[in-house]
Chains A and B, each alone.
Chain A
């Protein structure tokens, strides 16, 4: 009798061990501003992340673990962002704010608690320095890098020399717009072009004084640091002052809505810096359309799929999910923040099936390489101007180091 019981227990133990460990739900938190200042981008990004997670879940999730996306609104208020952070920090593998003020307010906490924070294209640019910002991942170019790449693009276009060229930096006069200034000034010294700044005040609806000076300056290139409706105002002013839009290259925040508002014909020739392949003609997008939207299971309006901010959402989260996969592969068992961070830092040449420039994240570089490319609107579609590239890396990194050293000093580490 006793032996029988022992045998039975033994058999049960063997059976239990044979059953694979219970799949855990992998949670990723998006604490986004869905109601105030960032609404021009957050809905598309959140929709993209949810769609991509849904497609991966249909295929069995990440290494057999289902993905869950937590979305919460923080209304661009730091206090509510911190509340969201405190709420999700112990259940989610990553937390993302997509708002500069809220990212800045939450960053010290993520650093102190040791939680992976995704901070792409918003917040502190110097967070790309993984040696100082161990827990923050920017997964994309810095604004300094974007500015340097734009200048490099123009240099190639002008036949390898910028001597005697006139470059105008047109920007919205607050920290986001002012960010490229140090890099542009340094490049001016190196390349010998003429640089002039054209700031205009918030909220960017009045740019007339900047543009009447622009007319006197007659630049060869206008680098425009702005987003949303500011582009529409700029295009009107350009028209009024007789400056052609094909002289303008914008930062990556120029989407299809802005294009519609300017008018497809009027916008002909405008260029934008991009961090992701635009449009719906790539394998991941096709998967999403086939598996979700064709079956009426998408997480939002189908018309947003062709919006570059949708692609940007994929560009941020494809590497994050891939990092979770790498982390799970390297180390079985429940994923912790530490393992997730290691997973992020083991991304090597990941390009999300051609959606992204190849991204290699290391313990030093949390941005993935900082490659961008320039696209031009030809009146009906965006034409990439050459391949993914990056230039002036040592200048960009010395700028990054200069700022991150300041942070490192103030936290006493």
Chain B
């Protein structure tokens, strides 16, 4: 009934290789996109500004990390540092009169450059050692930002981002900022969806599965790892810049500290390694759920007129949130994306579930 496959015949290679061969998927996507476009009209500004906007930016960022972690199988504990490089580059560039459009490309480029410089040394080791050396990238960047006043902006360590100007127009309205973010997130998503169909994507997967084996079949694993680092740094750098210009409006070191790196990593892992839709779920889970759970608990306590101390009240959500993470990972270790896939598979055959066997 849902996801009807009857009557779909591919007579061309092109048709066979399209992203979404099942019309139901395409419809779903079209509706979601339409909803996304209409969101500023549908949702209150509170939800737009404090939930939807950060959700989309962090999803774009998490997709970049997923490229290196999920596709190429390389650990990266310094992703927040990469985002920070992009953010600082873009802020300093625009403050020195460079237009935003160029500054943002510059942000990506500088992040790529530094990310690659690090990767060239870091990629000589594998697995946990790589994880540790990327963590070093994080600490080096933290140190540089904290110690170089020219970067951090002196003892206050806060630099205001100039208002976002796009093609000569100042974007200040909530809806305007949202559309900037939406465009970036959709662009990254399209790129990631297409990546898996290309030779590059397949090479990355080959490297992920076993880099020796990949080398045997003629895939230069070092080169592809480096390319993966470069691409993910580019996405991370631009996402960091967009995060500052559309959401924080000021850049400070702790916005890109080591705990943020761990947070993005958690988004990707909880969402599902190597899954695009998983990033959307993972970001919602890690970034938004703690706040939502806290609000629910708080509203509940108020409605029932419970006299709980504020401290305890603040800790209950953290406790529940921990249970939720453990629960979801027990229920489906492959992440939220796998739950989605299971559901979709179930619906493809529904109501003739026996046909699956």
Contact = CB atoms under 8 A, between A and B. Distances in A.
Interface of A: 34-35, 39, 43, 46-47, 50, 71-73, 75, 77-80, 82-83, 86-87, 100-101, 104-105, 107-109, 112, 124-126, 173-175, 178-179, 181-182, 299-300, 403, 406-407, 410-412
B155 A86 contact: no
Interface string B282-293: 000001001100
Contacts of A178: 155
5 contacts: A78-B255, A83-B51, A86-B50, A100-B254, A406-B156
B155 A108 contact: no
Nearest to B46: A86
Interface in B259-316: 287, 290-291, 294, 298, 309-311, 313-315
A407 B291 contact: no
Interface stretch (B98-106, B245-253, B343-351): B245-253
A35 B155 contact: no
Contacts of B315: 34-35
B94 to A, nearest CB: 10
B249 A109 contact: yes
A78 B290 CA distance: 13
Nearest to B255: A78
Given A43-B311, A105-B250, A124 B318 contact: no
Contacts of A105: 248, 250, 252, 255
A79 B287 contact: yes
A179 B248 contact: no
A108 B310 contact: no
A143 to B, nearest CB: 9
Given A82-B247, A175-B157, A407-B160, A101 B252 contact: yes
B290 A80 contact: yes
A403 B313 CA distance: 38
Nearest to B253: A175
Interface of A is mostly: helix
Interface of B: 45-46, 49-51, 54, 95, 146, 152-163, 247-250, 252-255, 287, 290-291, 294, 298, 309-311, 313-315, 317-318
B339 to A, nearest CB: 25
Contacts of B310: 34, 43, 46-47, 50, 71
B250 A104 contact: yes
B156 A101 contact: no
Nearest to B312: A34
B50 A83 contact: yes
A78 B49 CA distance: 13
Nearest to B250: A108
A95 to B, nearest CB: 13
Contacts of B154: 403, 406
B62 to A, nearest CB: 14
A72 to B, nearest CB: 7
A83 B50 CA distance: 5
B159 A410 contact: yes
Contacts of A35: 314-315, 318
Contacts of B254: 78, 100-101
Contacts of A299: 309
Given A80-B290, A83-B291, A109-B249, A125 B311 contact: no
A107 to B, nearest CB: 7
A72 B162 CA distance: 30
A125 B287 CA distance: 29
B95 A410 contact: yes
B16 to A, nearest CB: 42
A50 B159 CA distance: 34
B143 to A, nearest CB: 10
Contacts of A300: 309
B49 A86 contact: yes
B248 to A, nearest CB: 5
B346 to A, nearest CB: 34
A314 B46 CA distance: 31
A182 B155 contact: yes
> Which of A39, A105, A108, A125 neighbours the largest number of chain B CB atoms within 10 Å of its CB?
A105
Contacts of B159: 410
Contacts of B152: 175
B298 to A, nearest CB: 7
Contacts of B46: 83, 86-87
Nearest to B252: A104
A350 B321 CA distance: 44
A229 B247 CA distance: 34
A124 B159 CA distance: 11
A101 B298 contact: no
> Which of A101, A104, A403 neighbours the largest number of chain B CB atoms within 10 Å of its CB?
A104
Given A73-B314, A79-B287, A406 B157 contact: no
Contacts of B163: 412
A77 B248 CA distance: 12
Given A71-B310, A82-B247, A108 B160 contact: yes
A175 B160 contact: no
A108 B248 CA distance: 8
Contacts of A86: 45-46, 49-50
Contacts of B294: 72-73
Nearest to A102: B254
Given A34-B314, A82-B49, A72 B160 contact: no
Given A82-B50, A86-B46, A403 B311 contact: no
Contacts of A83: 46, 50-51, 291
A129 to B, nearest CB: 12
A78 B160 CA distance: 15
A30 to B, nearest CB: 9
Given A35-B315, A79-B287, 13 more contacts: A34-B311, A47-B310, A71-B310, A72-B298, A73-B294, A77-B290, A86-B50, A104-B252, A107-B250, A108-B160, A109-B249, A175-B146, A178-B155
A165 B337 CA distance: 65
Given A86-B45, A181-B155, A182-B155, A80 B250 contact: no
B243 to A, nearest CB: 10
Nearest to B58: A79
Contacts of B155: 125, 175, 178-179, 181-182, 403
Contacts of B248: 78, 82, 105, 108
A202 to B, nearest CB: 9
A251 to B, nearest CB: 15
Nearest to A80: B291
A87 B294 CA distance: 13
A100 B157 CA distance: 11
Query: Which 9 A-B residue pairs are closest in the complex by CB-CB distance?
Result: A34-B314, A83-B50, A73-B314, A410-B160, A108-B249, A175-B157, A101-B254, A86-B50, A80-B291
Contacts of B162: 410, 412
Nearest to B44: A86
B255 A101 contact: yes
